[in-house]
Amino acid sequence: MTLVFTGICSHGPGITGRADLAPPELRDPFFAAYHAMRDALHAARPDAVVIVAAEHFANFFMNNMPSFAIGMADGYEGPIEDPEWLRIPHRRVRGDAALSQAIIAEVQQSVDIAYAEEWKFDHGIMVPLSFLDPDNKLTVIPANINCQGPPLAPLHRAWAFGEALRRAADAVPQRIALIATGGISHWPATPDSGRINEEWDREFLRRWAAGDKAALLDYTDAGTYAEAGQGGFEIRTLIAAAAAARGPGTVHFFSSIPIFSTGCFVATAEIA
């Protein structure tokens, strides 16, 4: 039928695992923005939600690292991490293998992708789901962009992936939502963990909200690594969302929250 909703959000494990340690004046507005996006997402009445995330070596590793992958199962499980550490209970998430197959077939018309009938969700998907689907009612189709193991797909390929997902959403009879989740500046699992480049983050979100394709694709991996850390490579997921929506975006929340080890944001885009 059509794409009915597009949003982007942070997914750092500290968001749930260290929620009690965050300053309430920052944490509470962030969580409120997440909950407002939850309400808007459910109000769009999607039949399925494509979650474009950056998988963290939970399912794909250097012996087989696809640039792009989509899940094709009737169910998924997560979190793969310790639920007590992440503070998210283990759950089985409903999928739709037939719908996934239809989306994959359409995406393959322009983008080479892998597909997986087995997929364990890590924090990249489970943190957003804990806010956006606390009652475990949504049908989810996971999509992954390799943002961890270089060589990484060029940014214009992430844009093309988003365009292909939009075309696929418009081609199937179901109502499709798309949530992209990743980090902007962050340095996970390094001595710089907790560092956040707020100026870089705000400029990226400005370009994203403007839907400025040329400006979004102007980043280089070398520049991103220097200014935003290896976690900044996850802008690929957010760029894919901009390509899918085609319309301008609104940043509902952004703040530097060091205990969460990432710039924290919630934004939505108009479907053009």
Q: Contact, 145 vs 153, CB < 8 A?
A: yes
Q: Contact, 134 vs 64, CB < 8 A?
A: no
Query: Following DSSP, what letter does each residue of 2-48 receive, concatenated?
Result: EEEEEEEE---THHHHTGGGS-HHHHHHHHHHHHHHHHHHHHT--SE
Instruction: Give the pLDDT of residue 189.
Output: 79
Q: Contact, 172 vs 103, CB < 8 A?
A: yes
Instruction: Give the pLDDT of residue 1.
Output: 66
Which residues in the chain show pLDDT less than 50?
A: none
Instruction: Give the pLDDT of residue 257.
Output: 94
Specify the pTM: 0.97
Helix (H, G, I), strand (E, B) or coil at 248: strand
Q: Which residue has the tokens 């109000």?
A: 43
